[in-house]
Amino acid sequence: MAKQKLVLIGNGMAGVRTLEELLKLVPDHYDITVFGAEPHPNYNRILLSPVLAGEKKLEDIIINDDSWYADHRITLYKGRKISRIDRRKRLVMTEDGLEAGYDRLLLATGSVPFILPLPGRDLEGVIGFRDIRDVDLMLQASAQYRHAVVIGGGLLGLEAANGLRKQGMKVTVVHVLDTLMERQLDKPAAALLKCALEENGLNFLMEAQTEALLGDGRVRAVRFKDGLEIPADLVVMAVGIRPNIELAKSAGLHCERGIVVNDTLQTYDPRIYAVGECVQHRGSLFGLVAPLFEQAKVCANHLAEYGIGRYQGSVTSTKLKVTGIDLFSAGDFQGGDGFEELAFQDPSRGVYKKLVVKDNRVKGAVLYGDTVDGAWYFQLMREGTDIGDFRDTVLFGRAHMADEGREGNSVMAMADDAEICGCNGVCKKSIVDAISQKKLFTLDDVRSHTKASASCGSCTGLVEQILAATVGNFEPAPREKPMCKCTEHSHDSVRQAIVERRLQSLRSVFAALDWKTPDGCHSCRPALNYYLLCAWPESYRDDPQSRFINERVHANIQKDGTYSVVPRMWGGLTTPAELRAIADVAEKFRIPTVKVTGGQRIDLLGVRKEDLPAVWADLNAAGMVSGHAYGKALRTVKTCVGSEWCRFGTQDSTGLGVQLEKMTWGSWTPHKFKMAVSGCPRNCAEATIKDFGVVCVDSGYEIHVGGNGGIQIRGTDLLCKVATEAEALEYCGAFMQLYREEGRYLERTAPWIERVGLSHVKSRIVEDPDGRLALFERFRASQLRAQSDPWAELAQPAQRNQFLPLKQLG
């Protein structure tokens, strides 16, 4: 069967990105032909400004060179403009008479600069700022002439002005409003920007109404309504862009401001798709890169005939650089009636931050000079997090909240060999090189190519900054992050579907939610297995093959493929008999390393897989059970000696720790869950960096939650104080259950609480006694099945086979 024919009109970023996504899915499905009006291969339009400013060369901004098209057997016609689409015959025609037939047509005709209808607009030297040709004209003008006028004080205008100034021209920026970049900045930030740009040597005429462009042949001056005339040898119009829809219109496709497309990026002719700046989707037009790339992904999926995924619009934030000044804005940053504004200003450092807040929720943000927390504010906005609990410090940034000063202000000031990712040893230069050489655009791309921020994730903010500074304007994330590449659904929506639609197995989740893969992946399967287990504790049959190896064999895999074994010691208590049994096991199985852990347990390291059942059987025989040191589960309850021995102890912390551990062991949680009980505020058990901590005081028990001593150290929040041990136990069970039901898989309690807000947790646990009791009951119900020792089960003779080789070959 002959291959289907796909024609792409428009050789720009959105169209070619769609082809790239398509080729990833189905490399051989189509014969592809591309028509581009410009005489160049596909290049990164965002980087035209650095080319103009002389910071980059043309070849630096090419995304796909000619050989890429050849390698993928794509026929490319450069500098050939399509003049007509014949939808009946399914043909496109170039101006010079070349024809090409299509089965599917993709329009990515982009946009055209809006040229003000002024007298003199056709004079030589009057241009827009859109493509390489415009940049060439500007560079030529700068070599010959002195005076440039840029009409338009938006991002594009300022970048053009800055580039022309760097090329030695005297530049005046004309803006019709009193505020620069009014679509991204509020007045104070815009004023700071204007000041800084004036110091760099740009002139501004604000609230200026241009009346005419004067000249004879070539432009000579600009005249304003108030009679003022200024010299101009070059006029750059940067007052906005318009979707380029002429061709689509002439083919009879429905257009309004742009080519109207549905959620699958189809036009009114189902054979014709459109992406990028030329489209109008749900009433919106597009100018930033990130939404275009999201469209490309969805469109490619439908072109590949997978039929999965809908484009539902993008919530964007802009992180950008104007002449070396970092700016960030997102959401409703203007505020006004009914909104509150939190602001931080430090003029001498050149820093301004404003958050627009309503009902303790972030609705918008503007950052000037220090944008390191842009992604965090954007996340708070997207998640609708209640910031009431940290409103007083939110402007100081996330690093301040987490009591951690590791990240500096500007990553671009860091040296090339500065280590960005400490887990994988990736320095700044490797990241920059990978981004520019491999043409990476997204955080995920950078992660998979360089491994930077791919392990613990604490350097994500830095990597995002490097990405933004290297590829230009960048938007961090779509509205709801999909769970993984197998689905468009987020963690929360999958979970909701499991409960509401009573999905009881992995298979039914895959089917009901249109999973793109037959059986998920290593990322979604463990999450789904947990969500199902949490939703249906009495009936769901756990799927061991959907668990990470550690939870499958109830031991921790080590780098050499051996395992470590940690028996439970309730509250950190042990006995001579237990210690003797551990010593015997270590000798009998020649276990090379025996270590005391941070959670007051003993770790036997270097156990061979085939020995695991026998090791467990011996430990079981001495009365010990699995310590779950390997699981997303209750780990350990660390205690101090408390009032039984300590001269300062106020309560029996050890006894309470043992009770807590006996109540909670065996429960599965979204991520690991650690506890501690300290007998007095000296806090020797370090309860204030645990997921759940109790600090005993003379009058009772302080309940602390959401601490973390790991990647980002975070002290706990005080939840409340209770009077009795029984209450402490009840609050603990209720808190764990709330976390089990609301925490996303692999989300520790600390980020969970930061996401939902401590007030929310308090309202469910402290202020609602009936709700607390209900949570506690659900927790206890799920424990009925959870509290059976996995070691004892797996040490049974019938189970032992899976730990042995299938066969010995030689």
Partner 1 sequence: MTDWIEIGRLEDIPQHGSRVLANGFGNIAVFRTGDDRVFALRDRCPHRGGPLSQGIVHGSRITCPLHNWVIDLESGAAQAPDEGRTACFPIKVEDGVLWLKPR
Given the rule CB under 8 A, which residues bind partner 1? 438, 448-449, 517-522, 525-526, 544-546, 548-549, 553, 557, 559, 561, 801-802, 805-810
Show the DSSP H helices in 234-388 as ranges: 246-250, 289-303, 374-383
Q: Is-contact 38 79, C-beta < 8 A?
A: yes
Q: Which two tokens stand for residue 711?
A: 């990647």
Which residue do the tokens 């204007």 mark?
Answer: 194
229 phi and psi angles, rounded to 5 deg: -125, 135
Q: How far is the CB of 553 from partner 1 (least distance, A)?
A: 8
Q: How far is the CB of 309 from partner 1 (least distance, A)?
A: 18
Q: Quote the longest CA-to-CA distance of the chain.
A: 103
Distance CA 400, CA 477 (A): 23
Q: How far is the CB of 666 from partner 1 (least distance, A)?
A: 23
CB of 218 or CB of 449, closer to partner 1: 449
Q: How far is the CB of 510 from partner 1 (least distance, A)?
A: 10
Distance CA 787, CA 782 (A): 9
Distance CA 575, CA 582 (A): 11
Sheet strands side by side (includes 91-94): 82-86, 91-94, 99-101
340 phi and psi angles, rounded to 5 deg: -110, 155
CB of 136 or CB of 519, closer to partner 1: 519
Q: How far is the CB of 662 from partner 1 (least distance, A)?
A: 31
CB of 217 or CB of 561, closer to partner 1: 561
CB of 323 or CB of 470, closer to partner 1: 470
Looking at residue 343, its amino acid is A
* Helix (H), strand (E) at residue 12: none
Sheet strands side by side (includes 234-237): 126-127, 234-237, 147-151, 170-174, 203-205
Q: How far is the CB of 790 from partner 1 (least distance, A)?
A: 16
Q: How far is the CB of 434 from partner 1 (least distance, A)?
A: 9
- Which residues are paired to 33 by β-bridges? 7, 75
Q: How far is the CB of 809 from partner 1 (least distance, A)?
A: 4
Whole-angstrom CA distances from 351 to 145, 183, 332, 347, 409 are: 36, 19, 20, 6, 11
CB of 198 or CB of 444, closer to partner 1: 444
* Helix (H), strand (E) at residue 415: none
Q: How far is the CB of 475 from partner 1 (least distance, A)?
A: 23
CB of 403 or CB of 519, closer to partner 1: 519
Cα-Cα end-to-end distance for the chain: 50
Q: How far is the CB of 454 from partner 1 (least distance, A)?
A: 8
Sign of CA dihedral 718, 719, 720, 721: negative
Distance CA 386, CA 317 (A): 20
Sign of CA dihedral 486, 488, 493, 499: negative
CB of 394 or CB of 553, closer to partner 1: 553
CB of 2 or CB of 809, closer to partner 1: 809
Q: Which two tokens stand for residue 648?
A: 């300062």
Q: Which two tokens stand for residue 750?
A: 């600390």
Distance CA 677, CA 367 (A): 42
Sign of CA dihedral 593, 597, 602, 606: negative
Q: How far is the CB of 518 from partner 1 (least distance, A)?
A: 6
CB of 399 or CB of 423, closer to partner 1: 423
Q: Which two tokens stand for residue 472?
A: 């230009």
Task: Please tell me what DSSP assigns to residue 396.
Answer: G
Q: Is-contact 456 711, C-beta < 8 A?
A: yes
Q: How far is the CB of 76 from partner 1 (least distance, A)?
A: 24
CB of 472 or CB of 526, closer to partner 1: 526
Show the DSSP H helices in 338-490 as ranges: 374-383, 398-401, 428-437, 443-450, 460-471
Q: How far is the CB of 515 from partner 1 (least distance, A)?
A: 11
Q: How far is the CB of 674 from partner 1 (least distance, A)?
A: 23
In 3D space, the residue among 511, 482, 488, 485 whose CA is nearest the CA of residue 309 turns out to be 488
Distance CA 643, CA 112 (A): 77
Q: How far is the CB of 808 from partner 1 (least distance, A)?
A: 5
CB of 39 or CB of 544, closer to partner 1: 544
In 3D space, the residue among 671, 668, 635, 675 whose CA is nearest the CA of residue 785 turns out to be 668
Sign of CA dihedral 479, 485, 489, 492: negative
